[in-house]
Amino acid sequence: MRSPRLSHRYGRGFAVSMALASALLLSLAMPGLVGWWPLLFVALVPLLYGALHLPPLRSSGMGLLAGLLYHLVLLYWILIVLGRYGGLPAWISVPALVLLALYMALYTALFCFLLSLVAGRSWHRERWVATLVWTAPLFWVGLDTLRGTLLTGFPWMDLAYGLYAHPMLIQAADLGGHHLVSFWLVLINGLVLAVIDRQRRDVRWNQRAERRLLLAAACLVVFVFGYSMLRYRVMPPLMRRALQARVTVVQGNIDQGVKWTPANREATVATYTRLSAAALRRRTTELLVWPETALPFYLQSDPLAARVADFVRRQNVWLLTGAPTYDLGPAAPGEKPPVSYFNSALLLDPSARVAGRYSKQHLVPFGEYVPLRKFLPFLEPLVVSVGDFTAGSSSAPLVAGRMRLGVLICFESIFPDIARREVARGANLLVNLTNDAWYGRSSAPYQSLAMTVFRAVETKRSLVRAANTGISGLVDPAGNIRQQSPIFRAMALTGDVPMLDLETLFVRGGYLFGTACLALMVPLLLFRRRA
C-alpha cells in the first residue's frame, strides 16, 4: 500500500533531481567531452532509485528528462553535421537535434516506466530491491536492442561503449556482444542501489530468497569481470602466434567543403599518393588503405583512374579505397538504362585490377538517402554533395592474398551484426573506412572510434580504421588501440596486425543476447505481480 508520507517525500522535485544527477553523471562518463569512465558504475543509481520509489507515470517523466538532457549533450555534433556541412539553417538544425534527443529519450522514459511498474515500490513500500536489480539490466539491454533495430536503428553510444579504452574490462563482449557488457554495468549500478537501500532502519533482513537473488547478481558481476581479465591475459600469446599482416593507413585530411568539387579531385589524388609513397618506401606493406570516398569520383569512368592505377602498379601493393560506384540496369528499347549508385570500397590488386567491391549495406538516413524525400524536399541539401545511394547486399569478405577483408563503411561500424556476418563468412581482418569530417572538431569522432573498438573485441579480429580527417588507427583483437592518429592532420600509420581465425561465442550465437533480453521483457510484463 502506498504511504501518503512517501508520496510527498518522492515528489516532483525528487524526480527532477534524480534525472539531473543521472544525466550529469552519464555525460561526464562518456568519451568525447570528459570521459571519466568510472562514473559508469554509479551513473544510473539516481535513475534506478527514482524508479524504485516513484509511480510509473512520474518515473517515465523522470526518465524522459534525464534522457533528453543526456542526449542533447551526447549528440550536440548534429548541429555541425546539419548546419556547417548540410547547409541547413539553425531553425531546422536545432529542432532536428532536439527531436533526435527526444526520440532517444523515449527509450529512457519507457525503461523507467517499466521498471517502476514491475519492480517499483509505489504499490508496496517493502517490495524487494532484488527484483529491480535483476529487471533493470534486462529492460535496459532489451530497449537498447529495440533502438538498434527500429526505424533502421540508431544504437549510438550504448552504455558499454564508455569502457572502450579499457579492454581488460570488456572481453566478455566475445560472449554476448557489447550488450552483455551493458547488462553487467547496469547490474553493478543495481547492486550499488541495493547496498544503499539495505541501510534503511526498517529493512527486513529475513527474506532469504532476496538475499540469494542479490548474491546471484554479485556472482554474475564477478564472473563477467573474471572472464574479461582472464581472456585479456591469454590473448597476447594467441596474437603473437597468428599470421601478421603489415598494413598502412592513410589519413588525407581533405576539407569536406571542397572535397567533391571537380577542381580539387586531382589535388585529392595527389595528396593520397604522396602520403602513401612516403609510407611505402620500405616496400614491406601488404595492404594500403584509404578512407571512405577517398576518391571523390567514379573509378569506372574518370580519367583520374589511370593515375591511381599507375601508382598501385609502381608500388606493387594491394589498395583498398573508398569510392562511389554505379551499376547500369537493363534498359527498355529506346530508353536510357537506369543507374544505381553505391558508396563502395574497391580492392585493387598489385596490377591495378579491381579484385573486389563491397557496397555499403546500412546507409545513413538523411545523409546518403532521404526517406520519403518526395514529402521532405527541404532536406535535399543533405544528399546533394554525396549523392543518393542504393544499399549493397553482400557480406562476403574481399580476398587479398592471405587477407580476407570484412569491410565496414562509416556508420556500419556501430552495428555489430554486420561485422559478425562478415567474420562468419570467413573474414580474418576487419577494415573500417570512414569520413568523420562531417563531425568537425567535436566529440563524435571519439565516440565513433569507441564503438568500432568493440567490433574487434566481439569477433576477436584485428580492425584497421582509415578516416579522412581522423581518427584513424590499428586495433588488435583484444581491443588495444596500437596506433591512433589525431584528428585533422594528414598522415600515414603503418603497423603489423594479427589475423586470428578463431570463432567466438558471439559470432556463433551470442549475438542474440540482446534479442533474448528484449523477448524476456514480454513474460515479465505479462506475469508481473502487483504486490
Per the model's pLDDT, the better-predicted residue between 84 and 266 turns out to be 266
Domain limits, the chain: 4-198+208-238+511-526, 243-327+335-500
How do residues 161-172 score in pLDDT, each as one tens digit?
Answer: 999 999 999 999
Instruction: Give the per-residue pLDDT at 111.
Output: 98
Beta strands 243-251 and 491-499 are antiparallel
Strand order in the sheet with 354-359: 354-359, 339-348, 318-328, 287-289, 243-251, 491-499
Catalytic residue among 410, 412, 422, 517: 410
Other CB atoms within 10 Å distance of the CB of residue 229: 13
Report the percent of the chain where pLDDT is more than 70.
92
Per the model's pLDDT, the better-predicted residue between 269 and 375 turns out to be 269
What's the average model confidence in pLDDT over 262-286? 90
Instruction: Give the per-residue pLDDT at 386.
Output: 43
Q: Which CATH number fits domain 243-327+335-500: 3.60.110.10, 3.40.50.720, 3.20.20.140, 3.30.710.10?
A: 3.60.110.10
Instruction: Please list, in sequence order, all residues whose beta carbon lies within 8 angstroms of the beta carbon of residue 314, skipping any fewer than 6 positions away.
Output: none
Place of cell 570516398: 293
460 is a catalytic site residue: no
The answer to whether 305 touches 336, Cβ cutoff 8 Å, is no
- Using DSSP, state whether 423 is helix, strand or coil: helix
Residue 246: is its pLDDT beyond 90?
yes
CA-CA distance, 82 to 90, in Å (whole number)? 9
What single-letter amino acid sits at 358? Y
Cβ-based burial of 527 (10 A; exposed 0-12, middle 13-18, buried ≥19): exposed
Average of per-residue pLDDT values in the chain: 90
How do residues 303-342 score in pLDDT, each as one tens digit?
Answer: 899 999 999 999 999 999 999 998 887 777 777 888 888 9
One DSSP character per residue, 497-516 reads EEE-----HHHHTGGGHHHH
Whether cis (ω within 30° of 0) applies to the bond prior to 471 is yes
What single-letter amino acid sits at 233? R
CA-CA distance, 132 to 312, in Å (whole number)? 59
What's the average model confidence in pLDDT over 368-381? 58
Instruction: Give the per-residue pLDDT at 309.
Output: 95
Per the model's pLDDT, the better-predicted residue between 95 and 392 turns out to be 95
- Using DSSP, state whether 427 is helix, strand or coil: coil
Instruction: Please list, in sequence order, all residues whose beta carbon lies within 8 angstroms of the beta carbon of residue 366, skipping any fewer than 6 positions away.
Output: 379, 382, 383
Beta strands 398-400 and 403-409 are antiparallel
The answer to whether 171 touches 232, Cβ cutoff 8 Å, is yes
422 is a catalytic site residue: no
Catalytic residue among 292, 412, 422, 458: 292
Cβ-based burial of 128 (10 A; exposed 0-12, middle 13-18, buried ≥19): buried
Residue 206: is its pLDDT beyond 90?
no
Instruction: Give the per-residue pLDDT at 147.
Output: 96
Catalytic residue among 210, 360, 422, 460: 360
How do residues 481-512 score in pLDDT, each as one tens digit?
Answer: 999 999 999 999 999 999 999 999 999 999 99
Would you give the distance in Å from CA 1 to the centre of its chain?
43
259 is a catalytic site residue: no
3-state secondary structure 22-65: HHHHHHHHCCCCCCCHHHHHCCCHHHHHHHHHCCHHHHHHHHHH
